[in-house]
Chain A
Amino acid sequence: MTPSRKAVALISGGLDSLLAARLILDQGIHVEGLNFYTGFCVEGHTHAIRDRHTTKPKRNNALWSAEQLGIKLHIIDVIEEYKDVVINPKHGYGANLNPCLDCKGFMVGKARAWMEAHGFDFIITGEVIGQRPKSQRRDTMPIIARESGAFDRLLRPLCAKLLPETLPEREGWVDRNKLLNLNGRGRKSQITLAGEFGFHDYAQPAGGCCFLTDPNYSRRLADMWSTRGEKHYELDDIMLLKIGRHLRPRPNFKLIVGREEGENNFLSGYRRQFVHLSALSHDGPLVLVEGEVSEDDLQLAARLTARFGQGRDSDRVSVEITDKSGVARTLEVAPMPLDQIPQEWYL
């Protein structure tokens, strides 16, 4: 008896990877999923941090997909290795700081290594020709297969009929006739197929599952690299870029202003690493100061802190300033009028 073939599926938590894995499961293939945590994933963090998401179920969509499929899911921390993808993308960036083609090649390459280490036979992804302008194009798909080292062990079940035969098809491990020929940015076919499979309540994140496709996030990251004079980051840096209002009133410093309780709680975990401010006389945000600041800068920071709190319409607000060693003092300031905050300060 021929042993069951084994496929490793890249599971993002979105619909396409869910459907691709299901198509292959239905052909009697043993499938296990991989999900890569880069630090830029929209999954998890913002939902955990922001209060306004508390009414939504807190779930990891990749795990949810795995449960729907009845497969194992291995979540891999690639934070350190991924830095080179973001900082030095060989194929450049997309519309924002999204290195989608390099990213896909990186992830398929990691899946190939996992496949080889665990005795699996091929890799599947939820890619669809034309779905993404940078990475999911007919001309870029061979690049991913080649640069990842997966070559013809990389199968895209949702659009396989539009692509050359891969090893699993040639060897008869999977029936090509049961694979699909989807293309383009439309979602109708996928939604219909999801209904046929009985998948409901699946995630459909606008703009995908990565913060790097978000123009606001990318602007903050570009500002960070620009002011530091080098392209470099740590996990805390990219986490903080996701949270709060970011204002750069002067080139030498930036403020990170919590927008609600969840964000303030999260930012409070960084109090020992940053000079920080909060109003004493009124409710308001916790504000972190990133950069070296003068007394005049702190006056400005205090006025902005007052502006974003409940004392915004008061004549005076008491603002506590605490340095990195925990020494606190109080300033009495007038809140900064909204019309004196130039739009260019907002990142």
Chain B
Amino acid sequence: MSHYELDARRLLCPMPVIRTQNKLEELQAGDTLAVTCSDPGALHDIPAWCRVHGHEIVSTLNHAGEIIITVRAIK
């Protein structure tokens, strides 16, 4: 199991979701991905996308305008 990071800052939704989706397609079950975003819409959209695909949200941090959402891939 590996950990990956994705920089989606300065992208507006749905681009952070699309980048997350595309990266997760490359990962194995159990891998984790930390997505850094600046659009607060990602706080809703990335978890919503994960719910419909069955991926797990490990944590969500929102500090000083920077959002880090960590997802565990479930295949």
Contact = CB atoms under 8 A, between A and B. Distances in A.
Nearest to A265: B65
Contact of B49 (A45, A63, A239): A63
Interface stretch (A53-61, A150-158, A309-317): A53-61
Contact of B52 (A41, A71, A239): A71
A37 B15 CA distance: 8
B52 A44 contact: no
Interface in A147-170: none
Nearest to B51: A67
Contacts of B18: 37, 75-77
Interface string A324-342: 0000000000000000000
Interface stretch (B26-34, B39-47, B56-64): B39-47
B44 A59 contact: yes
Given A48-B40, A58-B44, A60-B17, A72 B12 contact: no
Given A43-B14, A73-B52, A58 B21 contact: no
B6 interface: no
A60 B17 CA distance: 10
Nearest to B52: A66
Most buried by B among A44, A59, A66: A44
B3 interface: no
A57 B13 CA distance: 14
Given A37-B18, A44-B12, A59 B53 contact: no
Interface in A26-45: 35, 37, 41, 43-45
A66 B14 CA distance: 15
B42 to A, nearest CB: 9
A49 interface: yes
Interface residues of B, number: 19
B48 A59 contact: yes
B10 interface: yes
Most buried by A among B14, B17, B49: B14
Contacts of B43: 58
A37 B40 CA distance: 18
A49 B14 contact: no
A64 interface: yes
Contact of A49 (B12, B17, B45): B12
B33 to A, nearest CB: 16
Chain A interface mostly helix, strand, loop or mixed?
Answer: mixed
A209 B40 CA distance: 21
A45 B14 CA distance: 8
Nearest to A48: B41
Contacts of A67: 48, 51-52
A72 B14 contact: no
Contacts of B48: 59-60, 63-64, 66-67
A74 interface: yes
Interface string A68-84: 00111111110000000
A44 B14 CA distance: 6
Given A37-B18, A47-B41, A58-B41, A73 B49 contact: yes
A59 B44 CA distance: 6
Nearest to A33: B52
11 contacts: A37-B15, A48-B12, A58-B40, A60-B17, A63-B45, A67-B51, A67-B52, A71-B52, A72-B53, A73-B52, A75-B17
Given A76-B18, A269-B10, 19 more contacts: A43-B13, A44-B12, A44-B41, A44-B45, A48-B39, A48-B40, A48-B41, A49-B12, A58-B44, A60-B13, A60-B14, A60-B41, A60-B44, A63-B17, A63-B52, A67-B48, A71-B52, A73-B52, A77-B15
Q: Which 9 A-B pairs have the closest CB atoms?
A: A44-B13, A63-B48, A48-B41, A66-B52, A58-B41, A60-B45, A45-B12, A48-B39, A77-B18
Interface of B: 10, 12-15, 17-18, 21, 39-41, 43-45, 48-49, 51-53
